[in-house]
Structure 1
Amino acid sequence: MKRKTIFNYSLVVVAFFAACHISRKNVPPIAPQPETFDTEGHRGARGLAPENTWPAFRTALDLGVTTLEMDAVITADKKVVLSHEPFFNHEISTHPDGKPVTEAEEKQLNIFKMPYAEVARFDVGMRPHPRFPQQAKMKATKPLLADIIDSVRQYMMVSRRPFPYYNIETKTQPSTDNIYHPEPAEFVELLMNVIKEKQIEEQVIIQSFDFRTLQYLHKHYPAIKTAMLIEDNDPRDLTAQLKALGFTPYIYSPAYKRVTKELVEECHALQMRIVPWTVNTREEISQLKALGVSGIISDYPDLF
C-alpha cells in the first residue's frame, strides 16, 4: 500500500512539472471552435464559489465550461489582478484584521494605489453573499492572473482535460483613467505581457465595455480575439455600436435581455459570434440556445 501511494504521488509530481514546462508545440490548447457552443463561467462560478478566485475557476472547470470569464484590474506595482471592481467591494471583502469592509470605505481601498502584497492580505471569500446564497464560503484572496493561468494549466494537465479559453474583461472607463486604473494603452500592454509570457494568446478573448481598449488591441494585437460588451440600457442599435467601435469584433456580448432572433441573425450575417451575459436560469438558457446564440455566460455553470 505504501509503495503504491509513493508511485501515485510521483505521477502527480511528474505531471505538475510537465504542466509547468509544457510547450505549445507538444500540447496545443483545445478551445471551442466557431461552430461549438461556448459555456462560460461568470467570474469563474460566482453563484457557487467566491468570484474571481481559484476556487470559483476550479469549480467551473470541474463543471466542464469551455471558457473562464474573469475581470482584470491593475495594482500600484503594475500587477494584473483578478477583481470585478478596482477596489474592495463591501459585499464580499474583509480587512486583514477581520473587520468587514463597509460600503462607506470600499472605494477608498483603491487597488490601483496598493501593491499586490497589500491586496493579498484582504479576504474575499468568507462573508456570506447577500445575492448568492448557494456560494460556498472559504478563505480566498484576489489572485494574480499569472497565478491563475499556472493553476489552470497544472489542474487540467493532471486531470487530463482540455484547456479552456480565458475571457478577460478590462475594467476601465474614461472617467477613472489614472484614478482607478491606467489609461487603455498601458492597461492593455500590462495584460498582454502576462498573456504573452504564459503563451496563451490563442486561448484568450479580451472583452470590454470600454471600446478604447478593444480599439487599441485591434490596432496593436490584431490576432487577439475581442468581445464587445453591451449594457442592457445602451440606446444604440448593432449598426451604431459597430460604427462606434470601428471594426467587427470576434464576439458581440450583450446583456441577455437584448437578444432577439433578429439580433442573432444580424450577428451571424457579420460572421460574429453572439454570447450574452449573465443568464442564470435553465429556462432562459434554453430559450437563448433556441434563438441560436453562440454561447452563454452564467454565474451557475452547473445549469449548462
Structure 2
Amino acid sequence: MKKKIFFTVLVVFIVVYVILQVIPFGKNKVDNPFKIEPGSRPLVIAHGGAKLMNPENTWMAYDYAYNLGVDVLEMDLQITKDNQLVTYHNDALQDFSNAQGLVSEHNYVDLKQYNFGENFEDLEGNLPYKTLTEQERITYGDALTPANLEEMFQKYGKDVLYICELKNYGELGQKSAQRILELIKQYDMENYVCVASFDKATLDYFISIAPKTIITSFDMGTATSFVIANYLGYGIFMNYPQSGFQLPMNKFGIPLDTSYLVYKIHKNDMFVHYWTINEIGDMKKCIQVGADGIITDRPDLLINLLNDMGY
C-alpha cells in the first residue's frame, strides 16, 4: 500500500513537473527586434564595436562595425561630468588611454584630446596607435576617442540596433539611467535600444522610471534566478520585467549554451544572446542551439560564417 502511494505521488510529481516545463509565463513581454523567428539568421552583434579589429568603444570601432553591416552595436556607457553618455568600459581613463582620472570627472570635449587607441593590439600583435605624430592625430580626428551616444543616434539612426550597458552605479548609475531614457525618447529609439547593466540597482532604477515598452535585459543575479526557477520547474510562478538575456556559454562550469535553456527562454517570450563568441566552432554551437544573437569581437568571421551557411 505504501509503495503504491509512493509511486502515485511520484507520477503526479513528474506530470506536474513536465507541465510546468512547457507552460510559458511571458506575462508582460513585448515583441522586439532582439528576438528572431525560429530558424532565422541570428543577429550579428559587434562587441564594443568589434574590439579585436579596432580600439574598443571608439568611433573607429563603431564606424567599422556599422560599415561591415552588423545588426547590433553593443557598447559600454559611462556618464561624463557634463552629463553625456560615452562609450567606455572602465571608470579609470588610464586603463584604455593616455588620460588620467575618471570619466565622470571630465567633460566630453576634454576626452577628445586623448588617445584611446594607445593600448590596442591588432591581430598581428602590433600596437598601431601607441604613438601618434601630430599629423596622424589630425588625420584620425575623433576616431580614437569614445563615441557619444547622442551623436551615435544622430549618425547611425535606425539603421542598426543598440545594446547599451550602463557601467555606472550608485548616484552616477541613476544619472546614466535618466540620461539614456531622455535620449531614447528624444530620438524615438524605443524599439531600437536594449538597456542592460550588471548592476542590479541601476537596472532596477531604470526599469522603475522607464515605460514598460522599453527593452531591458537581465542583470546576472536575476538571470541566475531565472535559470534556477526554470530548471527546477517553478518559473511559471515568477515574473520578470526584462525581455531577454546576454549570457556566456557557461558559468561556474555550468553549460548555458543548451537547446533546453534556449527553449525555456523562448517559451517565456524572451531573447538570448551569447557572449563573447570569437571562435567559429562556438559560433556554430550558438547557432545550433537557437541563439537570437551572437556577441562577438570578430563580426567579420561571423558574417562570413552565416553567408557560408546560406543565411
Same fold (TM over 0.5): yes
Quote the residue 1:151 is aligned against: 155
The question of 1:250 aligning with 2:250 is answered: no
Structure 1 partner of 2:144: 140
Alpha-carbon spacing, 1:136–1:130, altered in 2? closer, same or farther (3 Å): closer
1:194 lines up with 2:169 in the alignment: no
Give the C-alpha shift of residue 281 in structure 1.
0.8
Question: Matched residue of 2:93: which SS?
Answer: coil
Give ranges in structure 1 of 5+ residues lacking alignment. 1-29, 96-105, 154-161
1:164 aligned residue:
160
Following superposition, the deviation at residue 67 of structure 1 comes to 0.5
Judge conservation of contact 1:50–1:136 (CA < 8 Å) in 2: no
For 1:289 and 1:132, locate their aligned partners in 2 and report how far apart those are by CA, in whole Å: 28
- Cα 1:132–1:204 change in 2 (3 A) is farther
What letter corresponds to residue 121 of structure 1 in structure 2?
Answer: Q
Give the counterpart letter for 1:225 in structure 2.
I
Distance 2:85 2:261 in 1: 34
Deviation at 1:201, TM superposition (A): 1.8
Name 1:7's counterpart in structure 2: none
2:104 aligned with 1:112 = yes
User: Which structure: larger Rg?
Assistant: 2
Q: Does 1:93 align with 2:91?
A: no
Query: 1:126/1:70 Cα in 2 relative to 1: closer, same or farther (>3 Å)?
Result: same
- The alpha carbon displacement at 1:277 in A equals 0.9
Q: 1:259, CA displacement in angstroms?
A: 2.1
Do the aligned partners of residues 72 and 293 (structure 1) sit closer, same or farther apart at CA in structure 2, a change above 3 Å counting?
Answer: same
Deviation at 1:240, TM superposition (A): 5.4
Q: Does the 8 Å contact 1:77/1:116 carry over to 2?
A: yes
Distance 1:133 1:151, change over 3 A: farther
> What is aligned with 1:125?
117
Q: Deviations over 1:146-186 (max 9, x none)?
A: 11222223xxxxxxxx711011001034xxx24xxx143x3
Q: Relative to structure 1, is the Cα distance of residues 171 and 129 closer, same or farther in structure 2, using a 3 angstrom cutoff?
A: same
Match in the other structure for 2:57: 52
Provide the residue aligned with 1:34 in structure 2: 36
2:298 pairs with 1:300: yes
Deviations 1:219-267 (A, max 9, x none): 3321111112438xx9756145989x96142111111223222221221
Offset of 1:134 from its aligned partner?
7.7
Given residue 109 of structure 2, which amino acid in structure 1 is its aligned partner? A
Q: Name 1:64's counterpart in structure 2.
A: 69
CA distance in 1, matches of 2:45, 2:194: 12
Change (3 A) 1:133 1:147: farther
Query: Which residue of structure 2 lines up, in the alignment, with residue 286 of structure 1?
Result: 284
Contact 1:49/1:136 (<8 A) preserved: no
Distance, in Å, in 1 between the alignment partners of 2:127 and 2:51 is: 7
Q: CA RMSD in A?
A: 3.0
Q: CA 1:128 to 1:83, structure 2 compared with 1: closer, same or farther past 3 Å?
A: closer
Q: Percent identity, please.
A: 25
CA contact (8 A) 2:34 2:292 kept: no
In structure 2, the CA distance between the partners of 1:274 and 1:246, relative to structure 1 (3 Å rule), is same
Does the Cα contact within 8 Å between 2:54 and 2:120 map onto a contact in 1? Answer: no
Give the counterpart letter for 2:89 in structure 1.
Answer: H
2:264 aligned partner, one-letter code: E
User: CA offset at residue 86 of structure 1?
Assistant: 2.1
Instruction: Report if aligned partners of 1:75, 1:113 keep a CA contact under 8 Å in 2.
Output: yes
Distance in 1 between residues matched to 2:266 and 2:35, nearest whole Å: 15
